[in-house]
Structure 1
Amino acid sequence: MEGVHFNKIKTEAKKEPEYGWENRVWKTRNFEEGQFKYEVFKREGFGVEDILKKKGVSVEIAGPTNNGFWFHGFSDKSTEITSFNLAEVKKILTSNLYPGAPLFSDEGLVGYSGKADFIADARKMPIKKEGADLVYCSCLGSIAENGLKKIIQAKPKDMPAVEKERLVSESLSGEIGDNYKLREQAIDESWNILKPGGILVWQGGVFHDVDFAIKRGFVLLQREQKYIKTPDGSNDEEPT
C-alpha cells in the first residue's frame, strides 16, 4: 500500500465500492527503486487540488519524510498522472520523538535527517482536540523483524525511553501485532486532533491500517499502490 487519503466525517457516509471509482493504471511507472505497475483509485468528486487549497494547521507525525508527501491526481480528459509534493507547497509542522528522523547503523544512532519542529509521541500529540486541518504520516514503525532487531542491537544512547520500551516489548513478544497497535493508536490520535472534514494522509501503510481507519470513522477518498513481481519469479504481481 503506497498511500491513502482519509476524510474525517462525523455523519455516517455511504460506503461506495471501489469498482465504481475513477481509476488509472500505469504499467511502467519509474520510481527510485525501479519500474513498477502503479494504480490509483479515487472517489468521484475528490481532487488533490482540494487539499492544496485547504488552509489551516498541517501536522506531520514522525517526520520529516525525506521525499515529502506526493499526491497523484488525474482528470477525465487525460490518462497522464499529475504529481504534487505537499512538503514543498504547504508549511507542515513536523513532530518526532527525536530532534529529526533518526539514522541508525550497527554502532548506534549516527545522526538525524532533517529537523523536527517539536518533540511528541504520535499516540498523544500536544495539539488541542480538533485543532488540525491536515495530518500526515509516513511509514510509522517498522514491521520488518530484521530492522527491529538491528535497532535494538545498536542500543543508541539517546533513544527516547518510550521508544526503547516499545521496541524491547516488540522484540520480546515477537508479535507484529504490537506494531499494528502503535499504528492504530496514531490513527486514533489523528482522529482526535483533526477538525470535522479534516484529512489524514497515510503514506507507506498496510491494508490493516486502512481497515482500522475506516472502522474508526474515516472515509476513504483515494488509495494508491505499487505492484511488484512475486518472490517466486512468476508473472503475477502483488501490491506494496
Structure 2
Amino acid sequence: MKNNNKIADKVLVGITGKTNKDWKEKFKEIEKFKITRTALFLELFKKKQREEIYKALLKSSIKKIPLIHIRNDMSRSELKFLCEKYNNPCLTIHENSFRYLKKWSGYYQNLFLEMNTDNFVSRRTKLRKIGGFCVDLAHFKVAEEKWSEEFEYTIRRRKNPKHFDCNHLSGYSYEKNTDVHSVKNKNEFDYVKTLPRFVFSNVIAIEVYNSIKEQLKFRKYILRILNKKFDK
C-alpha cells in the first residue's frame, strides 16, 4: 500500500459467483446500494454468461471496476472492451495463464499474478512479463504457514513495491489453513492483522460468495483492521 490515505477507497466489494442467479442477484444489490465502484470476478463464468454480464454492466450504476479476475478462455477482444470501458483495470490471472499470454498481446502490463497454494511454481511463471502480483491475502497466509514455494517466490520480491499493485481478499481458516470464500463470521478476516505491510496494495478486492449486503458489513470490519494496522 503506497500510502494510507483514504483506505476506504482501496477496498472494494466483488461481483462473484458461478450461476446466472449469482451475478444477477449481486447486480440487483449493486443498484439497491447505489454502488459505483466494484471488483468483478469472471473466473467461474462461461462465455455466454460473460456476454450477459457485459450487457448488464453497461446498464448498471457501475462506473469503475479497478480489478477484474479473468479466465483463460477469454479473448483479446474481451480484454480490450474491459480495459477501454473501465480505464485499464488490474486483470488478475493464475500461474497456468502464462501459456495463454500470446493471445493477450498488448495487455501484458494489465495482467497481475495470483499465486496458487500447491507448493509449486511453474517454470512458465515469469513475473517480469506482466504488471506484477495480485497477492491473494488468504493464499499468502496459507503459503506463509507452509513456508511454501509460492511464499518464497513472493517474499524474494518484497523490496520492489512496483510488483504489488492489487489484492484479492477472502476469509481464512486457521484450523484448516485454507482460504474461505463463503464467510460465516467476520473473524475469518482477522488473519489480515498478521500479514506484512508490503503485500497490501491500493486495490483490495473482496472475493467471497456472500451477498453484497454481507460484503459491505465485512468491509467495515476489514477497514477497521487496516486503519489500525496502517496508523501505527
What interval of TM-score do these two structures reach, taking the shorter chain for normalisation?
0.3 to 0.5
Over alpha carbons, which structure has the higher Rg?
1
- The structure carrying a bigger strand percent of its residues is 1
- Return the TM-score normalized by structure 2: 0.34
- The structure carrying a bigger helix percent of its residues is 2
Higher relative contact order (CA 8 A, sep 6+): 1
